[in-house]
């Protein structure tokens, strides 16, 4: 039965409700022992509507413009509730579901968004309803142990030791931030140990440097700024033709830091760059970190799928890291968010610990396991449940098969693009991204080539038939496929390449027909 309210949008006062007590109509929306049937009905209605939408989607997008979507919100007044879940779902269909971008469609080839597995969706439904908070034991109980066991499982898969630990996070950006926070405080402690004058933190910070590939994720620079080091503290290390960090370049920068009296606080090696899927030479980077005493952080947000893949050897060397980022919501086919930061020595997590008397007092006699002691978050969702149910239902091997399928498909796509004279591809992928561009006529200027590729991507999105991403290489415009859907076939890739060529050819024709301005 729908929950009905007063016609003017407000509930009328209930003369039988004592002062200070919510009305029965308001309380009817709370999930508790008295509202379980309403909960089942409303959630089932929502699931059925989403299932119908999934079954009826024919393209990854509708191509609706910002103006078109925004216009649908013109008559929405948040101060006038609908008082009916069915009407709210009908409205949501128009405002969101109809024009959403659907990552499960095999011609969605844009960003690091994966289709998700059903056991993980089940986990999402359970964790949202129970709504445990993973900061303290007395708010989570068994949820704490599930998260801890998954952290141990992941650390074993990586090979971290001798005393690994970690915590779930909201994503790779937060994981990288926490890892660099630990590295910063370890570096400051190291400087103090070797400096008789015991300098203050504010005196040490300007000397700290973070070294990482020029293709590393932007969150490394963002983290440095947030940690008080500034963007200039990040030293980009050149890469080879395959977009992998050059060990000799890293060695030169580490030598320069030593020579200039700077402290190499951390080296961030990437196992799966966002644009190219490239994996830095982890063993050689680890050797240099050991030689210069630098913290090694491996950003495997994208490449963590290799942990359950037949290509596991591509992560060799990650076991020597001081910290590792993993994003299960990229290559383990989990709903956002599902990520973690792992450390080789759990003692380093003390740098993220703060004791509050009301939450996790330091002098607790029984020392219950409080996850807030390890995290830079306080209130935190039970996101680990999604991965837990995925492993318990499917098993790690099945997840690995899905990830291997997209890597295999990317290699096939590389061959297709490499052999097609209409396109130019940058590098052969180690994972599942391909960066390429359409080549206009031989005498086209670089600027014309940029405009044609930019316009082709835009008009392709507007058609709704496929979605691809874009990036720049050496300042020039390129297109990008990110393959994370095992259902994407070579037929889909061929079809999307043909669509790109059609849109690019039309854009080129329009560009050449425009009168030149003298």
**Rg of the chain in Å (alpha carbons):** 26
Closest CA to 330 of 411, 399, 228, 421: 399
Beta strands in 361-432 (DSSP E): 423-425
d(CA 249, CA 237): 6
Low-confidence ranges of the chain (pLDDT < 50): 1-12
3-state secondary structure of 159: coil
* pLDDT attached to residue 443: 86
- DSSP annotation of 332 reads S
Question: What SS3 state is found at 87?
Answer: helix
The helices-and-strands tally (H runs, E runs) of the chain is 16, 12
| Sequence-ordered strand ranges (E) for 86-222 | 108-109, 165-169, 208-213
Identify whether the C-beta of residue 269 lies closer than 8 Å to the C-beta of residue 297: yes
For residue 6, the model assigns a pLDDT of 39
Q: What CA–CA distance (Å, rounded) separates 42 from 82?
A: 14
* Residue 11: predicted pLDDT: 44
- Smallest CA-to-CA distance from 275 within 478, 53, 26, 18 is with 478
Report the pLDDT value the prediction gives residue 2, as an integer from 0 to 100.
43
Q: How far apart are CA 301 and CA 273, in angstroms?
A: 9
Length of the chain: 518
Euclidean distance between CA atoms 268 and 273, whole angstroms: 12
pLDDT for res 365: 55
378's tokens: 């306080």
> Which uninterrupted H or E stretch holds 509?
helix 490-513
Extended beta strands in 37-163, E state: 108-109
Q: Is 384 helix (H, G, I), strand (E, B) or coil?
A: helix
Backbone angle region of 75, left / alpha / beta, with phi > 0 → left and psi within -120 to 50 → alpha: alpha
Q: Which pLDDT score is estimated for 5?
A: 41
As given in the structure block, the two tokens for residue 438 are 């359409």
pTM value is 0.93
C-alpha angle 91/92/97, rounded to 5°? 130
Contact 109, 488 (CB under 8 A): yes
Beta bridge partners of 437: 424
State how far the Cα of 315 lies from the Cα of 304, in Å rounded to an integer.
Answer: 8
CB 457 within 8 A of CB 430: no
Q: Which domains does the chain have, with CATH numbers?
A: 133-384 (3.40.640.10), 397-513 (3.90.1150.170)
Residues 143, 145, 150, CA angle at the centre, nearest 5°? 100
Beta-bridge partners for 477: 472
Question: Which pLDDT value is given to residue 367?
Answer: 77
Q: Is 243 helix (H, G, I), strand (E, B) or coil?
A: coil
Contact in structure between 233 and 209 (CB atoms under 8 Å): yes
pLDDT for residue 383: 98
Q: What pLDDT does residue 196 have?
A: 77
Tell me whether residue 77 is exposed, middle or buried, using C-beta atoms within 10 angstroms of its C-beta: 0 to 12, 13 to 18, 19 or more: exposed
């Amino acid at each position: 039965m729908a929950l009905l309210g007063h016609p003017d949008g407000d509930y009328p006062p209930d003369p039988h409700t004592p002062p200070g007590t919510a009305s029965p109509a308001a309380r009817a929306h709370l999930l508790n022992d008295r509202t379980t049937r309403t909960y089942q009905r409303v959630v089932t209605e929502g699931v059925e509507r989403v299932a119908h939408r999934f079954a009826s989607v024919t393209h990854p997008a509708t191509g609706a413009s910002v103006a078109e979507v925004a216009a649908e919100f013109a008559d929405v007044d948040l101060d006038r509730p609908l008082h009916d879940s069915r009407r709210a779902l009908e409205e949501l269909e128009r405002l969101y579901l109809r024009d959403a971008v659907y990552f499960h469609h095999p011609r969605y080839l844009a960003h690091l968004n994966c289709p998700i597995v059903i056991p993980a969706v089940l986990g999402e439904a359970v964790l949202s309803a129970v709504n445990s908070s993973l900061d303290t034991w007395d708010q989570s109980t068994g949820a704490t142990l599930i998260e801890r066991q998954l952290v141990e499982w992941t650390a074993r898969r990586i090979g971290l030791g001798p005393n690994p630990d970690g915590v779930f996070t909201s994503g790779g950006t937060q994981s990288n931030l926490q890892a660099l926070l630990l590295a910063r405080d370890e570096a400051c402690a190291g400087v103090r140990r070797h400096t008789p004058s015991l300098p203050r933190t504010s005196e040490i910070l300007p000397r700290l440097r973070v070294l990482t590939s020029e293709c590393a994720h932007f969150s490394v620079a963002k983290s440095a700024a947030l940690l008080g080091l500034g963007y200039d503290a990040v030293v980009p290390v050149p890469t080879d033709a395959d977009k992998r960090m050059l060990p000799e370049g890293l060695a030169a920068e580490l030598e320069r830091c030593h020579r200039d009296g700077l402290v190499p606080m951390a080296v961030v090696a990437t196992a799966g760059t966002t644009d190219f899927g490239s994996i830095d030479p982890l063993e050689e980077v680890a050797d240099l970190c050991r030689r210069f005493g630098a913290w090694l952080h491996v950003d495997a947000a994208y490449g963590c799928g290799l942990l359950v893949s037949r290509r596991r050897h591509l992560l060799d060397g990650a076991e020597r890291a001081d910290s590792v980022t993993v994003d299960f919501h990229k290559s383990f086919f989990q709903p956002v968010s599902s990520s973690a930061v792992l450390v080789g020595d759990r003692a380093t997590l003390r740098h993220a610990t703060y004791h509050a008397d009301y939450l996790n007092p330091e002098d607790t006699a029984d020392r219950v396991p409080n996850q807030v002691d390890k995290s830079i978050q306080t209130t935190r969702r039970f996101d680990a449940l999604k991965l837990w149910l995925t492993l318990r239902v499917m098993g790690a091997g099945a997840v690995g098969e899905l990830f291997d399928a997209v890597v295999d498909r990317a290699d096939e796509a590389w061959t297709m693009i490499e052999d097609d004279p209409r396109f130019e591809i940058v590098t052969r992928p180690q994972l599942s991204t391909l960066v390429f561009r359409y080549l206009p006529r031989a005498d086209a200027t670089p600027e014309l080539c940029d405009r044609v590729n930019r316009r082709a991507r835009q008009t392709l999105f507007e058609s709704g038939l496929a979605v691809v991403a874009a990036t720049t290489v050496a300042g020039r415009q390129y297109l990008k496929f990110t393959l994370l859907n095992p259902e994407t076939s070579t037929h889909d890739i061929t079809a999307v390449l043909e669509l790109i060529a059609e849109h690019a050819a039309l854009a080129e024709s329009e560009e050449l027909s425009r009168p030149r301005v003298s």
